Amino acid sequence: MNRIVEPGNSLASGVGVTEALTRFSVQPAILAGGSGTRLWPLSRERNPKQLIDLIGDESLLEATLRRLDDAFAVAAHHTSSVDPLATATPLVVCCEDLRLQTRERLEQCSRPVRMMLEPVPRNTAPALTVAALAARAAAAAGDDPIIVALPADHLIADHAAFGVALSEALGHAACGAIVTLGVPPQRAATGYGYIRTGTALGTRGARAIERFVEKPDAELAERYVASGEYWWNSGMFVVRASVWLAAIALCRPVIAAACADAFEHATVDGDGALHLARDAFAACPSDSIDYAVMERVATDARLVGVTVPLVAGWSDVGAWDSVWDASSKDASGNVARGRVMFDGSTNSFAHSEGRLVACVGVSGVVVVETADAVLVAAKDRVQDVKAIVGRLKAERRAEAHEHRKVGRPWGFYDSLEHGERFQVKRIVVKPGGRLSLQMHHHRAEHWIVVRGTALVTRGEESFLVSENQSTFIPLGVTHRLENPGKTPLEMIEVQSGCYLGEDDIVRFDDQYGRLQVSGDAGKGASH
């Protein structure tokens, strides 16, 4: 059985990088719990930035998963190990409320993944802790997996360069260090945390970590970049499971204990997803990897931190200026997505989800149009969008949480119009899709089939409704909508009643496991 090197003794252990690497398997862990509030109105609480197509035609989560194979192939080539990088199925850690949307995105990648579901969001330190527990539990006897923890909402343009950096990080992690990928700064950015680098380690650019520092103001960021001693903190970590679990137990024992309890009492659903125990995980403090552990690396001799340079076109896509920076531009520096026209404009970004957006005579402006909201911001003020989202939440505005068009595992609905005592929705159900068997206390529903055929359950009866036909669902009657055909079912639903809140729903049966709706959590989440 391999010796477990405790934090603090790691780099002095005398184990060579290549020798250490051949002894361990690697567990990719994608941390998919971000919210992306600065990318409102495209990113919403129930449709966060990792699940939307910000750059190109795939979500950031899909892009993260796809580049693993490329990067790991390069990393394996740069070591003498026998492909230790493909021994573990990627683990995706996400919030239970986003499991259906996340699974749908993952299915687009056509590769196996494991999902671990957090009943409540608790930031990255608990997420990495439960990932380490899962990796250790799944590993072969005597194995001590190396966790490669990657945020699900970042961009990396050069997969080969990422793989080279990863190979170096794996070597140091195998020797017992907590390794982060640091990005040598291209500008004095104020939206990133920084790492103060120390002693050079070897000939491939790795350095000891002297200090983690918070996002600086503009003047301090200029000094950091001018000094050459500071790198951007990418938020990507590489660490052995045993080393991380020892570090979190040392620095934040309450987090370690709560995560261990939540993992020990976790359950597995029919799709193989692991659900952490709700009460135990809810008792866990919310904290980031940086605050919980990394800020103590330089002051505690038992912790060894290493940063490896990543020069690969990295961006955390944290705000709209980052999206502009990562996108292809026209000759005037403009970026257009969707139905957009520029005239006499420079260095601007415009995104349209439907309506035509025309920008005339503007410079350094961001315009983002969705069905229910429009953002207009100076490009150098986009970090402040987070404040707008905070106000929307404080005012309990639906625009903070989800879009007018809401995806569901069976298809989607689009809220077309609403007023006092009525609401109109367009509903599209995928072939074979089946909504929950449900009932409403305060509203009745009229269903009109526009395209396809609906199988309707209403009380004790079941019947078909074809194109240009309609049916009525009285208040208080159990009902279900299904699409038995091979083409999408499209229909118009008119709701009427004294209360039309989406928390007015009682589910009796649901193949997607959505039997519980509670108060505000159900707003906009019916069907």
Neighbouring-strand partners of residue 238: 148, 179
Q: Are residues 196 and 142 in the same domain?
A: yes
pLDDT greater than 90 at residue 270: no
- The proportion of the chain whose per-residue pLDDT surpasses 70, expressed as a percent, equals 91
Same domain, 28 and 85: yes
Q: Which domain holds residue 437?
A: 404-522
pLDDT in tens, 241-251: 999 999 999 99
Q: Is residue 426 part of a domain?
A: yes
Calculate the average pLDDT of the chain: 88
* Distance (Å, whole) CA 39 – CA 48: 9
396 domain residue, yes or no: no
Number of C-beta neighbours around residue 289 at 10 A: 27
Shared domain check, 306 and 366: no
Give residues with Cβ within 8 angstroms of 16, minimum separation 6: none
Q: Is the pLDDT of residue 166 over 70?
A: yes
What CATH number is given to the structural domain containing 172? 3.90.550.10
Residue that wins the pLDDT comparison between 21 and 245: 245
**Residues 352 and 425 both lie in one domain:** no
The model's pLDDT over 296-319, given as tens digits with 9 standing for 90+, comes to 987 888 999 999 999 999 999 989
Q: Which residue has the tokens 């078909």?
A: 464
Report residue 526's pLDDT band, with 50, 70 and 90 as the boundaries: low
Tell me the three-class secondary structure of 401-457, residue by residue: CCCCEEEECCEEEEEEEEECCEEEEEEEECCCCECCEEECCCEEEEEEEEECCEEEE
Pair type for strands 335-337 and 274-275: unpaired
Residues 409, 376 within the same domain: no
Residue 302 and residue 355 in one domain: no
pLDDT of residue 16: 40
Distance, CA of 291 to CA of 172 (rounded, Å): 22
In a domain, 7, yes or no: no
**pTM of the complete model:** 0.84
- Residue 83 has what pLDDT? 46
